[in-house]
Amino acid sequence: MTEPTEVAIVTDLTAALTEPQVALLRVIAEPAFSRRVRPKWRYVETEMRRLGYRGPEVIKTLPIAGARQIVGPSYSTVWYDRHNLQPQSEVFLTMAATLHLPEYSDAGVGFMSFLRACARKIHEAPNDPVKLIDPRIDAAELRTDFGLDEEFIALLPMILQHEPFNIATRVEIPTESSNWAIAIDQHVLDYEDMTELRQYVEHVTETIDREISYLDFSGPIYAGSNFIGVAAQESTTAEVDTKPDSSNNYVSSRITESLKAKSEASSFDLDKLLRLTSELNQNFAQRNPYACHALLRTILDHIPPIFGQRNFDAVAANHSWSRSDKKYIKFLAEFRGQADDVLHRQIGSSPSFIEMEDLPPRARVNALMAEVLRLL
């Protein structure tokens, strides 16, 4: 009999690590900081073997904040593909790792200085009642105005790809220049009063804990179109929950309820979005694939202003997504073409083969809707 799959747990990323765990971080850190590269897993595994450790076993013991399954946001000391780690897979440290590596503590100091510099740029940026102006900061400013270390500045664009929340909405790296620039997310102000990296890591952990509560882990979990298991659920005989089973929902009931709670205070009118998600869930439960395609396509076209964008392609390209979520959103952007085909292909002599299984996996849609909820 298979053990239930563990889905989500929040762990203290600041707690002391074991000797093998610290060794793993050091193996990844050396090429990352000295050569500014993400080492391949084969390199990491080989170096760990030379130190007397089994890399695949050690990496699985690292603490993780958030989801351990495919669904939902997560954060750890190391970024890697937890679901399909291959010899050619890249691995990289997050800023949480430097809490456990004293020799790289200067990177943590530099990162916190960078966050405060971004907050200052937001306060100094012009504000227009009509035009949205994204405050920007570039490598030259960090070098001359804020005195950040040159090596850390060069590494920063790579670091930002693996920090999960609220720093950059866009990173611009010219091909013929080292003077990269970022558009700063307004939520970076959450960090402006923090002086220690530990505070940042604890805040990220708390944020993930809150975000994970919006996602519905009941029912089946899919990777792409492949069924991989059922989320673990606690059972109790003490009381029976009489609420409708949410496993038939396509958009998590926790997200839709949270949208309703935010509707009155939001500057956006959420009535249409709430109606669209409700109808999408109803048609998903009734297994109406054409209606689901049409409704999901409409939702993707409806929400870009919440991200400060004009269309969903811009949402996918310009918003600051985590690495996993970026793959989800790219998939949803590509789905729009499929939905267009479903909606506009005219009748012919060939039969249609559109089925419910052709919809994007729920995890991808819920990741998008959780970000909508965060931005409101």
Check if the beta carbon of residue 92 is closer than 8 Å to that of residue 28: yes
In the predicted model, what is the mean pLDDT of residues 87-115? Answer: 94
In the predicted model, what is the mean pLDDT of residues 210-232? Answer: 45
Please compute Rg for the chain using Cα positions: 22
Task: Please choose, from the candidates 212, 116, 130, 100, the residue with its C-alpha nearest in 3D space to the C-alpha of residue 164.
Answer: 212
Residue 242 has pLDDT above 60, yes or no: no
Check if the beta carbon of residue 251 is closer than 8 Å to that of residue 366: yes
Tokens of 146: 């804020």
Q: How sure is the predictor about 40, in pLDDT bands with cuts at 50, 70 and 90? A: very high
Q: How sure is the predictor about 227, in pLDDT bands with cuts at 50, 70 and 90? A: very low
Check if the beta carbon of residue 252 is closer than 8 Å to that of residue 217: no
Domain assignments of the chain as residue spans, ordered by start: 104-198, 243-375
Q: What is the reported pLDDT for 213? A: 61
Q: How sure is the predictor about 69, in pLDDT bands with cuts at 50, 70 and 90? A: low
Residue type, 287: R
Residue 82 has pLDDT above 50, yes or no: yes
Burial of residue 252, with CB atoms counted within 10 A of its CB: 0-12 exposed, 13-18 middle, 19 or more buried: buried
Query: Between 178 and 228, whose confidence is greater?
Result: 178
Residue 84 three-state SS = coil
Residue 280 has pLDDT above 60, yes or no: yes
Residue 186 has pLDDT above 50, yes or no: yes
Check if the beta carbon of residue 262 is closer than 8 Å to that of residue 376: yes
pTM of the model: 0.60
Alpha-carbon distances, residue 187 vs 12, 165, 275 (angstroms) = 23, 8, 28
In the predicted model, what is the mean pLDDT of residues 12-32? Answer: 95
| DSSP string across 171-217 | EE--TT-S--EEEEPGGGGGGTT--SHHHHHHHHHHHHHHHHTTS--
Q: What angle do CA 82, 86, 89 make, to 5 degrees?
A: 80
The Cα diameter of the chain in Å comes to 69
Mean confidence (pLDDT) of the chain: 81
What pLDDT digit, counting tens, does each position of 307-331 carry? Answer: 988 889 889 988 988 877 888 888 8
Q: How sure is the predictor about 99, in pLDDT bands with cuts at 50, 70 and 90? A: very high
In the predicted model, what is the mean pLDDT of residues 154-160? Answer: 88
In the predicted model, what is the mean pLDDT of residues 211-232? Answer: 44
Residue 81 has pLDDT above 90, yes or no: no
Check if the beta carbon of residue 281 is closer than 8 Å to that of residue 272: no
Place of tokens 């900061």: 137
Residue 309 three-state SS = coil
DSSP designation for 59: H
Residue 162 has pLDDT above 90, yes or no: no
Residue 2 has pLDDT above 60, yes or no: no
Q: What percent of the chain has pLDDT over 90?
A: 36
